[in-house]
Structure 1
Amino acid sequence: MIETREGYAPQSPETLSAYLSGIERVRNILGGDPSRWRIAEVGDGNLNLVFIVRGDAGGVAVKQALPYVRLVGESWPLPLSRAHYEHMALSEQARLTGRLVPEIFHYDETLALIVMELLEPHVIMRRGMIAATLYPRFAEDISTFMSRTLYFTSDLALPAGRKKAMIAAFAGNTALCKITEDLIFTDPYRVADLNRWTSPQLDPYAARWREDGDLKVAVSRLKLKFLSSAEAMLHGDLHTGSIMLTPEDTRVIDPEFAFMGPMGFDTGAIVANFLLNYFSQDGHATSPGERDAYGEWVLATLEAIWTSFREKFLALWRENPAGDAYPASLFQGAEGEGRLETERQSYMDRLWADTVGFAAAKMIRRILGLAHNIDLEWIGDKDRRAVCEARALILARDMMVKPGDYPSVSALAERARRVRRDVIRY
């Protein structure tokens, strides 16, 4: 049943001007006569309405939750409360990372609506990477975002009471978690009405994945970790479609899937999206080898992201060991610190293994599940697209079933290079 709430109504360009004109801060940002404000609905995502509003002095972005999944329609109801969790996550991310998220100007709980900074001339990263744009700051920025949001909301940094309060605060975001649980960890491995793939080219792959017992056990282990491991506050949907940037500035957007979960889910999402883009390059090339240099930039940036993230996370742990996990009183003196440092390194190794597995799940769902990546979808030739997708599926299956074969990000990058050279037969 579609959720109703007293006072809620979906906004339109015709109604939004009157609403925003009543908010002093927003009115001052936009400037001029509200009747001259220019408003366009630009949402191209799966769930929400998104408006860009421009006035004489400036602009804002407005995001409003709908009571259903926009991609599917009213047959798939969705609670408006997801805007509450997005606002809460954005506020916490801003506290921890500053300008790596957009500034919030206004939040309306009743309308499930957030007015925020208009990011210009920023573009969605996924679109920029399809166009082979270089982003030299990205590895530095996203590793900072992930290390600070994950470390400072974990038991490594928080007293147990504060951590449990965060778990309670996000516990109600069950509908968004359920989408993840089904669309990522379950549906691609069974017959499901919403699944889709490049057919008939990938029909044999989809059939084999549904019959692969090793793969289904591996993804179920990941699902169990997603369900049960409240390690830190996650963005929950940290892909290249949730990042707006220029070569000089990075902003992370759209954390409505935020919850307390396993860190590797966020880090794995970034790894997955870089690998999917890497495999898509041959589909976008207009001549042999045209995209090789950009593909190498993608893999080099992927390596830099994980390497920087690991270094920054470890530095935060050494400098801010305030959490109730690994009490300092247990690791006194040089010997104790040495033992703790060994454990820190082992912790990061375990997190990398989780990252590899979750990345694999993300890659598979974007090819065999409901919501796909335009990195691959925008390859017009279905045969070329299917070759790129098949290579990604081959690597993802190996990553999920044998994560121990990928002890480092460099090993993963090298394996991706080899798979990209594979001859694909359907």
Structure 2
Amino acid sequence: MSRFDAYFLMKTEDVGEYVQEKLHYFEDDAKLEAKEIGDGNINYVFRVKDTKSGKSIVVKQAAEQLRISKEMKLSTDRGRIEAKILQLQESYAPGLVPKVYLYDEVMCAIIMEDMVGYTMMRTGLVNHEIYPKFAEDITTFMVNTLLPTTDVVMNHKEKKELVKEFINPDLCEITEDLVYSEPYIDYNHRNNVFPPVAEFVQRELYEDKKLHLEAAKLKFDFMNNAQALIHGDLHTGSIFINKEHTFIFDPEFAFFGPIGYDVGNVIANMFFTWCNGDATIDNKEEKEKFCRWVLDTIEEIVDKFVAKFRAKFEESVTEIMAKREGFLDWYLDTVLADTAGVAGLESIRRTVGMANVKDITTIPDEGKRARAEKMVITLAKNYIINRDKFKTGADYRRAINEVIQMYR
């Protein structure tokens, strides 16, 4: 009988033995070292490396409670969801997600490809690295994984079966609370508000009834629009990257929801990067180069997504009514409105909510950090309230430039 026949939360000293028992990946005489490399909030991620051969592999285990809050309990079934969706995404977007070698239902652990030679994108961006192929890769990933899982393309009965398989109530509840509710009404008293912007947050977020109404509309869209099988947490901490290639991982929040949720998350997190570069790069030329690349990338992401979405729709549409004249324009407009709305929601929740981003929190100068947070919130409100007006990359760039000038 194996000690891995019953669930327990592994430590680094357990993981090497676990891999050797579950998978014939390393040689029997391998010298294995394990290291905990996860910096997320809900899982434990280990890299296991053979010091003799240099081969390595990753083990990701689902815990029963959040790392950032022991009171928040979660179903470990999210590990199954993550393993399954990674395999599905690999079939839709080959090479853009890590390969899954094994999912263990008892230990709620995934053994997967180690993305050697890649950096977590948020870490790279905080160090002001430029990734010239990111816009191309991320838009290919989003279009190729999202559109095929909609009723536009997928057989309706097949899709309904997948909807059942990917019901993900615990993780959806986290999103519903932390993204759509608490940043506006701090009813659980878990928001992290930077003291220099407390009055600004009180006025612009907690007291803005119009904003609350729009957030409520978007929340109910998130809960009821089973549009596509979305990643559900597609930010720069869920991406490993280098100058040549991109890997997307960490889809344990996956379920059938609005396409714009994924696209909006990417856009919001790129602007955090701009704020960090603007606040922390001292060399003027380096600052201009990095910040210009970020804005170019945001614009590219929107425009490439739209172009690829249109092309893939025309190529793969099967639903007879979706082929009617004008339907594609209407459908894409709804996706783009959701995208802008979510870009605003993600911007706000990562600034004042429970899970802040280090792009902002590591800005050492308090005045510059306060300015960055005010820019993010002001821009986010524009995204949410005027979401029907954001249809092109130029629309985003114009709004960003306006808020930059406002806080000069």
TM-score, length-normalised on structure 1? 0.91
Q: 1:244 aligns with which of 240, 245, 252?
A: 240
| 1:292 CA displacement | 2.1
Partners of 1:400 and 1:186 lie apart in 2 by 14
Q: What SS does structure 2 have at the residue aligned with 1:188?
A: coil
Does the CA-based 8 Å contact 2:337-2:389 persist in structure 1? no
Question: Which stretches of structure 1, 4 residues or longer, exceed 4 Å deviation after superposition?
Answer: 287-290
Equivalent residue, structure 1, for 2:10: 11
Deviations 1:373-422 (A, max 9, x none): 11111111222111111111111112111223434221211220221122
For the 8 Å contact 2:302–2:392, the answer to whether it is kept is no
Deviation by residue 1:196-215 (Cα, 9 ceiling, x = unmatched): 1211x110122121110000
Quick one: which amino acid aligns to residue 127 of structure 1? T
2:349 to 341, 359, 365: 365
Q: Give the counterpart letter for 1:72 in structure 2.
A: S
Which of the numbers 128, 131, 151 marks the counterpart of 1:135?
A: 131
Matches within 5 A, 1:323-362: 323=319, 325-326=321-322, 331=324, 339=325, 342-362=326-346
Is 2:182 the partner of 1:187?
yes
Name which of 120, 124, 127 aligns with 1:124: 120
2:65 is aligned, of 68, 92, 110, to: 68
- Residue in structure 1 matched with residue 292 of structure 2 by the alignment: 296
Residues 320/423 of structure 1: CA separation in 2 closer, same or farther (3 Å cut): closer
CA–CA separation in structure 1 for the residues paired with 2:87 and 2:158: 16
> What SS class does the counterpart of residue 286 from structure 1 fall into?
coil
Counterpart CA distance in 2 for 1:143 and 1:407 is 15
Quote the offset at 1:8 in angstroms: 0.2
Residue 59 (structure 1) aligns with: 56
- Structure 1: gaps spanning 5 or more residues: 332-338
Match of residue 383 from structure 1:
367
Query: In the alignment, residue 339 of structure 2 is paired with which amino acid?
Result: T
Residue 46 (structure 1) aligned to one of 33, 41, 46: 41
Local SS of the residue matching 2:406: coil
CA distance in 2, matches of 1:282, 1:197: 21
- Aligned partners of 1:71, 1:43: CA distance in 2, in Å? 13
1:155·1:325 contact (CA, 8 Å) conserved in 2? no
1:335 corresponds in structure 2 to none
Shift, 1:355, TM fit: 0.5
Q: Secondary structure at the match of 2:256?
A: strand
Residue 97 of structure 1 corresponds to which residue in structure 2? 93
Aligned residues: 401
CA shift, 1:303, in A, is: 1.4
Could you tell me the TM-score, scaled by structure 2's length?
0.94
Question: For 1:419 and 1:45, how far apart are their aligned partners in 2?
Answer: 30
Q: Are 1:279 and 1:420, in contact at CA under 8 Å, matched by a contact in 2?
A: no
Given that residues 336 and 390 in structure 2 are in contact (C-alpha distance below 8 angstroms), is that contact kept between their aligned partners in structure 1? no
Query: Is the Cα–Cα contact under 8 Å of residues 39 and 51 in structure 1 kept in the other structure?
Result: yes
Alignment RMSD? 1.7
> Aligned pair in 2 of structure 1 residues 24, 405: CA closer, same or farther (>3 Å)?
closer
Q: Deviations over 1:218-264 (max 9, x none)?
A: 00010000000000000000001100010101000100000000001
Q: Work out whether 1:21 is the aligned partner of 2:20.
A: yes
Number of the residue aligned with 2:278: 282
Q: Sequence identity of aligned pairs in percent? A: 32
> 1:41: Cα distance to partner?
1.2
SS across alignment from 2:24? helix
